[in-house]
Amino acid sequence: MVTFVYLFYKNTIKLKRRRKSLRILKLLVFVCAMVYGLYVYYKYLKHIQIEKKRELFEIQVIKTTHHNNAVYQSPIAHLHSPKPETFKKFTGNPVRFFVIVSMQRSGSGWFETLLNSHMNISSNGEIFGQKNRRQNLSSIIKTLDRVYNLELITSSSKNDCSTAIGFKWMLNQGLMEHYKEILDYFAKRGVSVIFFLRRNMLRRLVSILANLYDKDAKVLNGIHVSHVHSHEEALTLSRFKPMINVTSLELDLGKMESMAMKALGYFNSTRHIIVYYEDLIKNPYKLLQVEDFLKLPRMELSSRQVKIHKGPLSEHIKNWEDVNKTLSGTMYERFLKADY
Ligand SMILES: *[C@@H]1O[C@H](CO)[C@@H](O)[C@H](O)[C@H]1NC(C)=O
Ligand SMILES: *[C@@H]1O[C@H](CO)[C@@H](O)[C@H](O)[C@H]1NC(C)=O
Ligand SMILES: *[C@@H]1O[C@H](CO)[C@@H](O)[C@H](O)[C@H]1NC(C)=O
Ligand SMILES: *[C@@H]1O[C@H](CO)[C@@H](O)[C@H](O)[C@H]1NC(C)=O
Ligand SMILES: *[C@@H]1O[C@H](CO)[C@@H](O)[C@H](O)[C@H]1NC(C)=O
Protein backbone atom coordinates (compact mmCIF):
# COMPACT_ATOMS: atom_id res chain seq x y z
CA MET A 1 0.00 0.00 0.00
CA VAL A 2 2.72 2.39 1.00
CA THR A 3 4.67 1.41 -2.06
CA PHE A 4 1.65 1.97 -4.21
CA VAL A 5 1.03 5.43 -2.78
CA TYR A 6 4.64 6.25 -3.17
CA LEU A 7 4.64 5.12 -6.81
CA PHE A 8 1.45 7.05 -7.47
CA TYR A 9 2.98 10.15 -5.96
CA LYS A 10 6.13 9.76 -8.06
CA ASN A 11 4.12 9.32 -11.23
CA THR A 12 2.11 12.44 -10.51
CA ILE A 13 5.29 14.46 -10.11
CA LYS A 14 6.64 13.06 -13.34
CA LEU A 15 3.41 13.93 -15.09
CA LYS A 16 3.46 17.43 -13.63
CA ARG A 17 7.05 17.89 -14.74
CA ARG A 18 6.22 16.70 -18.23
CA ARG A 19 3.24 19.04 -18.42
CA LYS A 20 5.42 21.87 -17.26
CA SER A 21 8.07 21.23 -19.89
CA LEU A 22 5.34 20.86 -22.49
CA ARG A 23 4.00 24.26 -21.51
CA ILE A 24 7.48 25.78 -21.75
CA LEU A 25 7.92 24.20 -25.13
CA LYS A 26 4.60 25.61 -26.32
CA LEU A 27 5.61 29.03 -25.04
CA LEU A 28 8.92 28.75 -26.83
CA VAL A 29 7.27 27.81 -30.10
CA PHE A 30 4.87 30.71 -29.69
CA VAL A 31 7.68 33.19 -29.01
CA CYS A 32 9.66 31.88 -31.98
CA ALA A 33 6.63 32.24 -34.24
CA MET A 34 6.08 35.78 -32.96
CA VAL A 35 9.69 36.78 -33.55
CA TYR A 36 9.71 35.26 -37.01
CA GLY A 37 6.42 36.96 -37.83
CA LEU A 38 7.79 40.30 -36.71
CA TYR A 39 10.95 39.73 -38.74
CA VAL A 40 8.98 38.92 -41.89
CA TYR A 41 6.80 41.96 -41.31
CA TYR A 42 9.87 44.15 -40.82
CA LYS A 43 11.46 42.83 -44.02
CA TYR A 44 8.20 43.44 -45.83
CA LEU A 45 7.96 47.02 -44.55
CA LYS A 46 11.55 47.68 -45.53
CA HIS A 47 10.97 46.24 -48.95
CA ILE A 48 7.89 48.39 -49.44
CA GLN A 49 9.83 51.44 -48.34
CA ILE A 50 12.66 50.81 -50.77
CA GLU A 51 10.21 49.99 -53.55
CA LYS A 52 8.37 53.23 -52.92
CA LYS A 53 11.60 55.20 -53.08
CA ARG A 54 12.57 53.46 -56.28
CA GLU A 55 9.17 54.08 -57.82
CA LEU A 56 9.42 57.75 -57.02
CA PHE A 57 12.83 57.79 -58.59
CA GLU A 58 11.72 55.98 -61.73
CA ILE A 59 8.61 58.14 -62.04
CA GLN A 60 10.81 61.18 -61.92
CA VAL A 61 13.09 59.72 -64.56
CA ILE A 62 10.15 58.86 -66.77
CA LYS A 63 8.73 62.34 -66.31
CA THR A 64 12.08 63.79 -67.21
CA THR A 65 12.33 61.59 -70.27
CA HIS A 66 8.98 62.72 -71.60
CA HIS A 67 9.53 66.33 -70.80
CA ASN A 68 11.06 68.16 -73.74
CA ASN A 69 13.57 65.55 -74.85
CA ALA A 70 14.52 64.46 -71.36
CA VAL A 71 15.31 67.97 -70.28
CA TYR A 72 14.05 70.03 -67.40
CA GLN A 73 13.99 73.38 -69.16
CA SER A 74 14.60 76.45 -67.18
CA PRO A 75 13.45 79.62 -68.90
CA ILE A 76 16.95 80.93 -69.31
CA ALA A 77 19.43 79.57 -71.78
CA HIS A 78 22.48 80.72 -69.98
CA LEU A 79 25.12 82.34 -72.08
CA HIS A 80 28.26 83.83 -70.71
CA SER A 81 31.09 85.89 -72.00
CA PRO A 82 33.97 85.41 -69.61
CA LYS A 83 37.20 87.26 -70.10
CA PRO A 84 39.83 84.70 -69.23
CA GLU A 85 43.38 85.61 -68.33
CA THR A 86 45.09 82.58 -69.69
CA PHE A 87 42.80 81.38 -72.43
CA LYS A 88 44.75 82.06 -75.57
CA LYS A 89 42.50 81.16 -78.46
CA PHE A 90 39.35 82.50 -76.91
CA THR A 91 37.12 83.71 -79.73
CA GLY A 92 34.63 85.77 -77.80
CA ASN A 93 31.74 83.37 -78.58
CA PRO A 94 29.07 82.95 -75.92
CA VAL A 95 29.92 80.09 -73.55
CA ARG A 96 27.65 77.45 -72.01
CA PHE A 97 28.54 75.79 -68.74
CA PHE A 98 27.83 72.22 -67.82
CA VAL A 99 28.90 69.57 -65.33
CA ILE A 100 28.72 65.80 -65.65
CA VAL A 101 27.63 64.42 -62.29
CA SER A 102 28.42 60.75 -61.89
CA MET A 103 29.81 57.95 -59.74
CA GLN A 104 33.06 56.04 -60.25
CA ARG A 105 32.90 53.06 -62.61
CA SER A 106 29.66 54.14 -64.24
CA GLY A 107 31.03 54.62 -67.73
CA SER A 108 31.37 58.37 -67.35
CA GLY A 109 34.94 58.30 -68.68
CA TRP A 110 33.61 56.86 -71.92
CA PHE A 111 30.76 59.36 -71.94
CA GLU A 112 33.15 62.25 -71.47
CA THR A 113 35.40 61.18 -74.33
CA LEU A 114 32.27 60.99 -76.50
CA LEU A 115 31.36 64.55 -75.56
CA ASN A 116 34.88 65.78 -76.10
CA SER A 117 34.77 64.49 -79.66
CA HIS A 118 32.28 67.27 -80.38
CA MET A 119 34.12 70.25 -81.76
CA ASN A 120 32.23 72.65 -79.53
CA ILE A 121 32.57 70.81 -76.23
CA SER A 122 35.48 70.97 -73.84
CA SER A 123 35.16 68.82 -70.74
CA ASN A 124 38.06 69.01 -68.32
CA GLY A 125 37.94 65.54 -66.79
CA GLU A 126 37.71 64.60 -63.15
CA ILE A 127 39.21 67.79 -61.78
CA PHE A 128 38.14 67.13 -58.18
CA GLY A 129 40.15 63.94 -58.17
CA GLN A 130 42.83 66.21 -56.67
CA LYS A 131 42.05 66.40 -52.97
CA ASN A 132 43.38 69.91 -52.43
CA ARG A 133 40.75 71.23 -54.84
CA ARG A 134 37.93 69.91 -52.64
CA GLN A 135 39.46 70.40 -49.18
CA ASN A 136 36.81 72.88 -48.19
CA LEU A 137 34.06 74.94 -49.76
CA SER A 138 36.32 77.85 -50.65
CA SER A 139 38.74 75.65 -52.54
CA ILE A 140 35.80 74.07 -54.39
CA ILE A 141 34.38 77.45 -55.41
CA LYS A 142 37.83 78.64 -56.43
CA THR A 143 38.26 75.59 -58.65
CA LEU A 144 34.80 76.04 -60.18
CA ASP A 145 35.64 79.67 -60.93
CA ARG A 146 38.84 78.61 -62.63
CA VAL A 147 36.95 76.12 -64.84
CA TYR A 148 34.15 78.43 -65.82
CA ASN A 149 36.41 81.46 -66.26
CA LEU A 150 38.30 79.24 -68.72
CA GLU A 151 41.45 79.54 -66.65
CA LEU A 152 42.00 75.88 -65.93
CA ILE A 153 44.15 74.05 -68.44
CA THR A 154 43.88 70.28 -68.22
CA SER A 155 44.94 67.43 -70.44
CA SER A 156 41.36 66.74 -71.49
CA SER A 157 40.36 70.31 -72.18
CA LYS A 158 40.47 71.66 -75.69
CA ASN A 159 41.93 75.10 -76.05
CA ASP A 160 40.42 75.75 -79.43
CA CYS A 161 36.88 75.21 -78.29
CA SER A 162 34.86 77.48 -76.12
CA THR A 163 31.18 76.87 -76.74
CA ALA A 164 30.36 74.41 -73.95
CA ILE A 165 32.73 74.14 -71.00
CA GLY A 166 32.44 71.59 -68.26
CA PHE A 167 34.01 68.80 -66.25
CA LYS A 168 33.19 65.55 -64.53
CA TRP A 169 32.25 65.53 -60.86
CA MET A 170 31.85 62.37 -58.79
CA LEU A 171 29.26 62.35 -56.01
CA ASN A 172 31.86 61.47 -53.40
CA GLN A 173 34.12 64.40 -54.26
CA GLY A 174 32.64 67.08 -52.03
CA LEU A 175 29.51 67.51 -54.13
CA MET A 176 27.13 65.98 -51.61
CA GLU A 177 28.65 67.58 -48.51
CA HIS A 178 28.36 71.10 -49.87
CA TYR A 179 25.36 70.65 -52.10
CA LYS A 180 23.49 73.74 -50.91
CA GLU A 181 26.27 76.15 -51.72
CA ILE A 182 27.07 74.35 -54.96
CA LEU A 183 23.40 74.51 -55.94
CA ASP A 184 23.54 78.28 -55.41
CA TYR A 185 26.69 78.48 -57.48
CA PHE A 186 25.13 76.50 -60.33
CA ALA A 187 22.06 78.74 -60.26
CA LYS A 188 24.13 81.91 -60.16
CA ARG A 189 26.40 80.95 -63.03
CA GLY A 190 23.81 78.98 -64.99
CA VAL A 191 25.54 75.63 -64.93
CA SER A 192 23.52 72.81 -66.53
CA VAL A 193 23.80 69.38 -64.93
CA ILE A 194 24.18 66.15 -66.89
CA PHE A 195 23.57 63.21 -64.57
CA PHE A 196 25.37 60.20 -65.91
CA LEU A 197 24.27 57.16 -63.92
CA ARG A 198 24.26 53.44 -64.10
CA ARG A 199 21.13 51.42 -63.51
CA ASN A 200 22.80 48.10 -62.80
CA MET A 201 24.73 48.65 -59.59
CA LEU A 202 25.85 45.00 -59.51
CA ARG A 203 27.76 45.49 -62.74
CA ARG A 204 29.16 48.66 -61.29
CA LEU A 205 30.29 46.73 -58.21
CA VAL A 206 32.08 44.19 -60.43
CA SER A 207 33.84 47.04 -62.20
CA ILE A 208 34.84 48.64 -58.89
CA LEU A 209 36.27 45.38 -57.51
CA ALA A 210 38.11 44.57 -60.74
CA ASN A 211 39.57 48.05 -60.89
CA LEU A 212 40.62 47.81 -57.25
CA TYR A 213 42.33 44.50 -57.97
CA ASP A 214 44.20 45.98 -60.93
CA LYS A 215 45.54 48.80 -58.77
CA ASP A 216 47.80 46.18 -57.17
CA ALA A 217 48.03 43.55 -59.89
CA LYS A 218 48.59 45.92 -62.82
CA VAL A 219 47.92 43.18 -65.35
CA LEU A 220 48.56 45.30 -68.43
CA ASN A 221 52.36 45.50 -68.66
CA GLY A 222 52.66 46.55 -65.05
CA ILE A 223 50.59 49.69 -65.51
CA HIS A 224 47.32 50.24 -63.68
CA VAL A 225 44.59 51.33 -66.09
CA SER A 226 40.97 52.26 -65.59
CA HIS A 227 40.01 52.46 -69.26
CA VAL A 228 41.23 50.58 -72.31
CA HIS A 229 41.32 51.19 -76.04
CA SER A 230 41.51 47.67 -77.48
CA HIS A 231 39.53 44.45 -77.23
CA GLU A 232 42.67 42.49 -76.30
CA GLU A 233 43.29 44.75 -73.32
CA ALA A 234 39.62 44.51 -72.33
CA LEU A 235 39.79 40.73 -72.48
CA THR A 236 42.97 40.63 -70.39
CA LEU A 237 41.43 42.85 -67.72
CA SER A 238 38.13 40.95 -67.65
CA ARG A 239 39.89 37.64 -66.95
CA PHE A 240 40.01 38.53 -63.30
CA LYS A 241 36.74 37.50 -61.65
CA PRO A 242 36.05 39.24 -58.34
CA MET A 243 34.54 37.50 -55.31
CA ILE A 244 31.52 39.40 -54.09
CA ASN A 245 30.74 39.61 -50.39
CA VAL A 246 27.18 38.32 -50.32
CA THR A 247 26.71 39.15 -46.63
CA SER A 248 26.67 42.85 -47.33
CA LEU A 249 25.60 42.72 -50.97
CA GLU A 250 22.00 43.90 -50.63
CA LEU A 251 23.04 46.67 -48.30
CA ASP A 252 25.88 47.76 -50.60
CA LEU A 253 23.63 47.90 -53.64
CA GLY A 254 21.01 49.79 -51.66
CA LYS A 255 23.58 52.35 -50.54
CA MET A 256 24.70 52.97 -54.11
CA GLU A 257 21.14 53.43 -55.33
CA SER A 258 20.13 55.70 -52.50
CA MET A 259 23.18 57.90 -53.04
CA ALA A 260 22.21 58.44 -56.67
CA MET A 261 18.61 59.15 -55.67
CA LYS A 262 19.73 61.63 -53.05
CA ALA A 263 21.83 63.51 -55.58
CA LEU A 264 18.93 63.66 -58.01
CA GLY A 265 16.80 65.11 -55.23
CA TYR A 266 19.41 67.71 -54.24
CA PHE A 267 19.92 68.99 -57.76
CA ASN A 268 16.33 68.60 -58.83
CA SER A 269 15.80 72.31 -59.21
CA THR A 270 18.73 72.89 -61.57
CA ARG A 271 18.43 72.61 -65.33
CA HIS A 272 19.35 69.00 -65.84
CA ILE A 273 19.21 65.89 -67.97
CA ILE A 274 19.54 62.29 -66.79
CA VAL A 275 21.48 59.89 -68.96
CA TYR A 276 21.73 56.22 -68.06
CA TYR A 277 24.75 54.27 -69.21
CA GLU A 278 22.54 51.33 -70.17
CA ASP A 279 20.30 53.52 -72.32
CA LEU A 280 23.24 55.06 -74.09
CA ILE A 281 24.71 51.65 -74.90
CA LYS A 282 21.47 50.50 -76.43
CA ASN A 283 20.44 53.74 -78.05
CA PRO A 284 23.01 56.23 -79.38
CA TYR A 285 20.11 58.62 -79.99
CA LYS A 286 20.59 59.65 -76.35
CA LEU A 287 23.68 61.56 -77.43
CA LEU A 288 21.60 63.75 -79.71
CA GLN A 289 19.45 64.60 -76.71
CA VAL A 290 22.57 65.63 -74.84
CA GLU A 291 23.70 67.79 -77.76
CA ASP A 292 20.26 69.41 -77.84
CA PHE A 293 20.41 69.90 -74.10
CA LEU A 294 23.69 71.78 -74.51
CA LYS A 295 22.17 73.66 -77.46
CA LEU A 296 24.93 72.56 -79.78
CA PRO A 297 24.80 71.51 -83.41
CA ARG A 298 24.13 67.76 -83.75
CA MET A 299 27.27 65.86 -84.64
CA GLU A 300 28.25 62.22 -84.65
CA LEU A 301 30.36 61.53 -81.56
CA SER A 302 32.93 58.81 -81.06
CA SER A 303 35.22 57.37 -78.42
CA ARG A 304 38.18 55.04 -78.62
CA GLN A 305 37.36 53.46 -75.27
CA VAL A 306 36.36 49.81 -75.24
CA LYS A 307 33.99 48.21 -72.73
CA ILE A 308 35.82 45.88 -70.32
CA HIS A 309 33.13 43.54 -68.93
CA LYS A 310 30.95 42.26 -71.77
CA GLY A 311 28.33 39.52 -71.84
CA PRO A 312 26.47 37.87 -68.98
CA LEU A 313 27.48 38.78 -65.45
CA SER A 314 27.77 35.11 -64.51
CA GLU A 315 31.04 35.08 -66.47
CA HIS A 316 32.52 37.93 -64.48
CA ILE A 317 31.83 36.91 -60.89
CA LYS A 318 33.74 34.15 -59.13
CA ASN A 319 31.03 33.18 -56.64
CA TRP A 320 28.20 33.62 -59.12
CA GLU A 321 25.99 30.94 -57.62
CA ASP A 322 26.06 32.58 -54.20
CA VAL A 323 25.33 35.97 -55.73
CA ASN A 324 22.49 34.53 -57.78
CA LYS A 325 21.02 32.88 -54.72
CA THR A 326 21.40 35.98 -52.57
CA LEU A 327 19.67 38.30 -54.99
CA SER A 328 17.00 35.95 -56.36
CA GLY A 329 13.63 37.07 -55.07
CA THR A 330 14.90 40.48 -53.96
CA MET A 331 14.35 43.82 -55.66
CA TYR A 332 17.82 43.47 -57.15
CA GLU A 333 17.01 40.31 -59.06
CA ARG A 334 16.82 42.40 -62.23
CA PHE A 335 20.56 43.09 -61.93
CA LEU A 336 21.31 39.40 -62.45
CA LYS A 337 19.70 39.15 -65.84
CA ALA A 338 20.84 42.28 -67.63
CA ASP A 339 23.21 41.36 -70.41
CA TYR A 340 25.06 43.89 -72.54
C1 LIG B 1 31.66 75.17 -83.15
O2 LIG B 1 33.04 75.19 -83.44
C3 LIG B 1 33.32 75.65 -84.75
C4 LIG B 1 34.81 75.46 -84.99
O5 LIG B 1 35.55 76.03 -83.96
C6 LIG B 1 32.88 77.09 -84.90
O7 LIG B 1 33.12 77.53 -86.21
C8 LIG B 1 31.38 77.19 -84.60
O9 LIG B 1 30.97 78.52 -84.60
C10 LIG B 1 31.08 76.57 -83.23
N11 LIG B 1 29.65 76.50 -83.03
C12 LIG B 1 29.05 77.08 -82.04
C13 LIG B 1 27.57 76.89 -81.93
O14 LIG B 1 29.65 77.74 -81.22
C1 LIG C 1 40.85 75.43 -47.61
O2 LIG C 1 41.76 74.52 -48.16
C3 LIG C 1 42.92 75.12 -48.70
C4 LIG C 1 43.77 74.02 -49.30
O5 LIG C 1 43.18 73.52 -50.45
C6 LIG C 1 43.69 75.84 -47.62
O7 LIG C 1 44.81 76.49 -48.17
C8 LIG C 1 42.76 76.88 -46.98
O9 LIG C 1 43.43 77.50 -45.88
C10 LIG C 1 41.47 76.24 -46.50
N11 LIG C 1 40.58 77.26 -46.06
C12 LIG C 1 39.82 77.14 -44.98
C13 LIG C 1 38.89 78.26 -44.69
O14 LIG C 1 39.88 76.15 -44.25
C1 LIG D 1 31.53 40.75 -45.69
O2 LIG D 1 30.69 41.76 -45.16
C3 LIG D 1 30.42 41.61 -43.77
C4 LIG D 1 29.40 42.67 -43.38
O5 LIG D 1 29.77 43.93 -43.81
C6 LIG D 1 31.72 41.72 -43.00
O7 LIG D 1 31.48 41.55 -41.63
C8 LIG D 1 32.69 40.65 -43.49
O9 LIG D 1 33.93 40.81 -42.86
C10 LIG D 1 32.87 40.74 -45.00
N11 LIG D 1 33.66 39.61 -45.45
C12 LIG D 1 34.76 39.75 -46.17
C13 LIG D 1 35.42 38.49 -46.61
O14 LIG D 1 35.21 40.84 -46.47
C1 LIG E 1 11.79 67.20 -57.85
O2 LIG E 1 11.03 68.40 -57.85
C3 LIG E 1 9.65 68.19 -58.05
C4 LIG E 1 8.98 69.56 -58.18
O5 LIG E 1 9.74 70.56 -57.63
C6 LIG E 1 9.09 67.39 -56.90
O7 LIG E 1 7.72 67.17 -57.08
C8 LIG E 1 9.82 66.07 -56.84
O9 LIG E 1 9.40 65.31 -55.74
C10 LIG E 1 11.31 66.27 -56.75
N11 LIG E 1 11.98 64.99 -56.86
C12 LIG E 1 12.86 64.55 -55.97
C13 LIG E 1 13.47 63.23 -56.24
O14 LIG E 1 13.16 65.20 -55.00
C1 LIG F 1 20.07 31.67 -60.90
O2 LIG F 1 19.46 30.70 -60.07
C3 LIG F 1 18.22 30.23 -60.55
C4 LIG F 1 17.66 29.27 -59.54
O5 LIG F 1 17.53 29.90 -58.33
C6 LIG F 1 18.39 29.56 -61.89
O7 LIG F 1 17.15 29.16 -62.40
C8 LIG F 1 19.03 30.56 -62.86
O9 LIG F 1 19.30 29.91 -64.08
C10 LIG F 1 20.29 31.11 -62.29
N11 LIG F 1 20.74 32.16 -63.19
C12 LIG F 1 21.93 32.16 -63.74
C13 LIG F 1 22.17 33.24 -64.73
O14 LIG F 1 22.79 31.36 -63.46
CA-based R_g, the chain, Å: 28
93: domain range? Answer: 79-337
Query: Which of 17-26, 117-126, 275-284 has the weakest average pLDDT?
Result: 17-26
Do both 210 and 95 map to the same domain?
yes
Over residues 127-146, mean pLDDT: 95
Do both 84 and 133 map to the same domain?
yes
Rounded to the nearest integer, the mean pLDDT of the chain is 82
Is 73 within a domain? Answer: no
Is 72 within a domain? Answer: no
Is 320 within a domain? Answer: yes
**Which residue, of 66, 93, 121, is where some domain finishes?**
66
DSSP per-residue letters across 140-190: HHHHHHHHHTT----SS--TT--SEEE-EEEIIIIITTTHHHHHHHHHHHT
Over residues 14-21, mean pLDDT: 73
Predicted confidence (pLDDT) at residue 51 exceeds the cutoff of 60: no
Residue pLDDT, tens place only, 55-69: 555 444 433 433 333
Residue pLDDT, tens place only, 177-234: 999 999 999 999 999 999 999 999 999 999 999 888 888 878 887 888 888 888 888 8
Predicted confidence (pLDDT) at residue 3 exceeds the cutoff of 70: no
Do both 192 and 326 map to the same domain?
yes
Pocket test for ligand 3, best of 247, 250, 253 (most atoms within 8 A of CB): 247
**Which residue, of 66, 87, 105, is where some domain finishes?**
66
What is the number of the ligand 3 atom nearest to the C-alpha of 243? 13
Is 173 within a domain? Answer: yes
Do both 125 and 36 map to the same domain?
no
Pick the residue with more confidence: 235 or 3? 235
Q: With 0.85 as the threshold, say if the pTM is over it.
A: no
Do both 52 and 144 map to the same domain?
no
Do both 107 and 251 map to the same domain?
yes
Q: Which residues contact 182 (CB under 8 A, 6 or more apart)?
A: 140, 144, 175
Do both 137 and 6 map to the same domain?
no
The ligand with the least distance to the CA atom of 249 is: 3
CA of 279 to the centre of ligand 5 (A): 25
**Which residue, of 66, 90, 121, is where some domain finishes?**
66
CA of 247 to the centre of ligand 3 (A): 6
- Read off the pLDDT band of 159 (50, 70, 90): low
Percent share of the chain, pLDDT over 90:
51
